[in-house]
Amino acid sequence: MSLHFKCSPLDLDEEQVLDYLHLLKSQRKTPSDSFFKHTVYGLRYAYRISGMKEMRVVLPSIERPHQLPVVLSRSEIKQLLKTPKLLKHRLVLAILYGCGLRCFELRNLQLKDLDFDRKMLHIRQGKGRKDRYVPLSQMQIRGLKKYIAADNPTIWCFNGYDRKGNPSQLSAMGVQWIVREARKHSGIQKEITTHSLRHSYATHLLEMGLDIISVKELLGHADIQTTLTYLHVAQLGRQKPFSPLDRLYKE
């Protein structure tokens, strides 16, 4: 911004700042959402420490691409879950999918959050600092009991290791590696991330008959509009969509 205007950003008025941001937005190589946010937040901080509290730059609206989530089929989920050789890795995948967890929610899981008697998982301080409960399947419970007896974790449900080789909380890169390796060795061609398993969880629940409000609560969404996205990918209705080619040659 300083190079563009050849002066300090503190010498610019609000209209010049917004012109610059809109100029970036209109360029072919559009910067990321975070670029705009950091630019605006940086300006606000600069104004504040310079005693220019009256300056308040508003973040310009950014059009987000309307992309539908990648969803795995039920057979692909089965294939993915059985691919890892280590039980711990299979359980990481099974919890991400079977409980619809975000990556950081899985990393923050502690042994005290597992309620095998009630078959529930307590997710503490999820997105928006909200707690919620989600059901555990009997299959997950059997696997977790076997894993806990063998690996003997003390605090975190899934341990990782720090640079010195000491047990620590499983890192985000560790979770991503488990998903990436499982996808690579499973033969599945879809681009799969940790969030793809959460997307598949929501979509499959809808297809299995669970109502949208219950799915919203299980996912921990603050806004129902976020959950409604899955209605575009779930195969719902009295008759599932089909290709005309499926019936063209049956007549």
Whether 127 is catalytic:
yes
Domain check: are 30 and 133 in the same one? no
The reported pLDDT for the residue numbered 228 is: 85
Instruction: Name the helix (H) or strand (E) containing 120.
Output: strand 120-123
Domain check: are 126 and 163 in the same one? yes
The reported pLDDT for the residue numbered 69 is: 87
The reported pLDDT for the residue numbered 114 is: 96
Is 69 within a domain? no
Domain check: are 11 and 124 in the same one? no
The reported pLDDT for the residue numbered 2 is: 85
Task: Determine how β-strand 114-115 pairs with β-strand 120-123.
Answer: antiparallel
Domain check: are 86 and 9 in the same one? no
Domain check: are 222 and 112 in the same one? yes
Whether 221 is catalytic:
yes
The reported pLDDT for the residue numbered 11 is: 85
Whether 190 is catalytic:
no
Q: State how far the Cα of 134 lies from the Cα of 121, in Å rounded to an integer.
A: 5
Domain check: are 105 and 176 in the same one? yes
Residue of 25, 44, 88, 102 marked active site: 102
Whether 88 is catalytic:
no
Chain centroid, CA 90 distance in Å: 19
Is 241 within a domain? no
Whether 20 is catalytic:
no
Whether 107 is catalytic:
no
Residue 209's contacts (CB-CB under 8 Å, 6 or more residues apart) are none
Domain count within the chain: 2
Q: State how far the Cα of 16 lies from the Cα of 23, in Å rounded to an integer.
A: 10
Domain check: are 95 and 217 in the same one? yes
Is 64 within a domain? no
Domain check: are 43 and 125 in the same one? no
Domain membership of residue 30 as a residue range: 2-49
Residue of 74, 119, 127, 185 marked active site: 127
Is 158 within a domain? yes
Chain centroid, CA 158 distance in Å: 18
Tokens of 46: 């600069």
Q: State how far the Cα of 24 lies from the Cα of 44, in Å rounded to an integer.
A: 19
Is 54 within a domain? no
Domain check: are 78 and 32 in the same one? no
Is 198 within a domain? yes
Residue of 89, 183, 198, 199 marked active site: 198
Is 220 within a domain? yes
Is 78 within a domain? yes
Domain check: are 140 and 223 in the same one? yes
The reported pLDDT for the residue numbered 58 is: 61
Domain check: are 91 and 45 in the same one? no
Instruction: Report the chain (251 residues): mean pLDDT per 10 consecutive residues.
Output: 85 78 66 71 82 66 68 94 95 95 93 95 82 93 95 90 77 93 94 93 91 91 86 73 65 57
Domain check: are 33 and 92 in the same one? no
